[in-house]
């Protein structure tokens, strides 16, 4: 069944998730920071707790009637669909794996090509590769590197495990009936995009999905900055992770591609805060006329409307004088929108709960949202506004870098 996501509030029907696994434990002793660079204050990943959080999150979705698909399972099915899929995936993965030079890249390639099944290939790609697992072209006989102590240690990682996989919303974005293959800010996360490219090119259920952004673009863009407003309008954050030039490229495709129904792209500047890095950590729509929002976004951010120029394949840009409120009202055609501030009526809690991603919620259907249970003041304000809440704790999964919205890639929503 094809992708269909024209807003962030339509009843969620189908979603893509990833369950953390053994890859979270695959690192040499004392090298936790090497493979979990986003957790500088931690020294371990509690897999049991993360799986319990993931199970609870999945139960919330399934209770709402959402069909949950898993990334690794879809990738395995895509790789099994035809021989070309496997070869294409290995090529893409080797290009993005971080191994530099002919010898190291060839060792990675041979290791992946010698896996016996698609499932084994998926596990090898996600789980990381150590030097002791591969064979080099210079192996055999006496080696000067071994005599001088410069040979690679067998336990040392050649390719790090993919330990941000459960943030499924960032590498790709669903927009209408198509997808954006994003160019990630951190190079190691670009390997994740290769998994999605294989799925949406080869999986029998998704192989005809139109593409609206090229992963090999020069410019960075991440999915947390892309918010579907309705069938004809999409908001994109100008942030630490998404460049203005990337929005230019995306807008031109969305506005002129016949597979897209978008008539306007609304670019919104995202403030800089250490843990809040995408537009969806500052703003989420929770009902037809209601948003939960970081007050800083409303107070400081400039907005721009990008539409078609009269000349084909060109765009025109207009600054929105009154900022985010005016931009969203114009995009949705709703003059009087409600904005519920993080922290509710308590400004002293606004900064704390904003930093704890109180604005990053997942809308299950209009007026019903999954929220981070620790943000009590914001949640109370949402309830007072008539929003039905499903609170959940996902601290081990997100470690402060996102909320329920970040762990789910919607594939189908009702209008």
The residues assigned a catalytic role are 406
Helical H segments across 257-311, by residue range? 295-300
What sign does the dihedral 84-85-90-91 (CA atoms) show?
A: positive
Between CA 401 and CA 48 the distance in angstroms is: 19
**Cα angle for residues 104, 73, 231 (degrees, 5° grid):** 105
Dihedral angle over CA of 179, 183, 186, 188, nearest 10 = 80
Between CA 281 and CA 283 the distance in angstroms is: 6
Q: Which residue has the tokens 């053994």?
A: 22
141 SS3 class: coil
Q: Which helix (H) or strand (E) holds 159?
A: strand 157-159
Tokens at 215, concatenated: 């992963």
Strands, sheet with 290-293, edge to edge from the N-terminal-most edge strand:
283-287, 290-293, 338-341
Closest residue by Cα to residue 63 from 370, 413, 356, 385:
370
132 SS3 class: helix
Long-range CB contacts (within 8 A, 24+) of 35-39: 35/128, 35/157, 35/160, 35/161, 35/163, 36/163, 38/164, 38/399, 38/401, 39/399
Pairing type for strands 226-230 and 233-238 reads: antiparallel
């Amino acid at each position: 069944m094809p992708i269909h996501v024209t807003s962030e509030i339509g009843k969620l029907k189908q979603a893509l998730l990833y369950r953390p696994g053994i890859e979270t434990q695959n690192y040499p002793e004392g090298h936790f920071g090497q493979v979990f660079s986003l957790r500088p204050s931690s020294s371990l990943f509690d897999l049991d707790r993360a799986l319990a959080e993931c199970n609870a999150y999945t139960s919330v979705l399934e209770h709402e009637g959402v069909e949950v698909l898993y990334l690794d399972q879809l990738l395995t099915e895509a790789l099994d669909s035809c021989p070309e899929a496997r070869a294409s995936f290995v090529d893409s993965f080797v290009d993005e794996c971080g191994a530099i030079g002919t010898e190291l890249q060839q060792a990675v390639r041979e290791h992946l090509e010698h896996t016996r099944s698609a499932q084994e290939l998926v596990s090898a790609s996600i789980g990381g590769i150590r030097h002791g697992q591969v064979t080099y072209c210079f192996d055999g006989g006496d080696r000067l590197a071994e005599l001088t102590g410069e040979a690679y240690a067998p336990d040392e990682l050649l390719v790090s495990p993919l330990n941000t996989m459960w943030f499924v919303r960032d590498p790709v974005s669903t927009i209408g009936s198509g997808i954006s293959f994003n160019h990630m800010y951190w190079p190691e996360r670009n390997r994740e995009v290769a998994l999605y490219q294989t799925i949406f090119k080869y999986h029998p259920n998704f192989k005809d999905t139109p593409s609206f952004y090229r992963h090999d673009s020069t410019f960075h863009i991440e999915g947390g900055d892309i918010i579907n407003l309705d069938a004809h309008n999409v908001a994109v954050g100008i942030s630490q992770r998404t460049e203005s030039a990337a929005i230019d490229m995306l807008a031109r495709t969305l506005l002129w591609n016949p597979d897209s129904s978008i008539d306007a792209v609304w670019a919104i500047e995202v403030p800089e805060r250490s843990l809040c890095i995408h537009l969806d950590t500052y703003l989420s729509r929770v009902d037809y006329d209601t948003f939960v929002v970081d007050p800083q976004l409303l107070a400081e951010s400039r907005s721009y409307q990008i539409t078609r120029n009269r000349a084909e394949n060109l765009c025109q840009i207009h600054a929105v004088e009154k900022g985010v409120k005016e931009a969203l009202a114009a995009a949705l055609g709703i003059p009087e929108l409600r904005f519920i501030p993080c922290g509710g009526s308590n400004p002293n809690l606004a900064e704390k709960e904003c930093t704890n991603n109180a604005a990053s919620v997942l809308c299950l259907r209009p007026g019903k949202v999954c929220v981070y249970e620790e943000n009590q003041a914001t949640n109370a304000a949402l309830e007072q506004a008539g929003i039905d809440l499903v609170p959940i704790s996902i601290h081990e999964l997100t470690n402060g870098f996102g909320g329920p919205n970040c762990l789910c890639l919607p594939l189908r929503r009702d209008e």
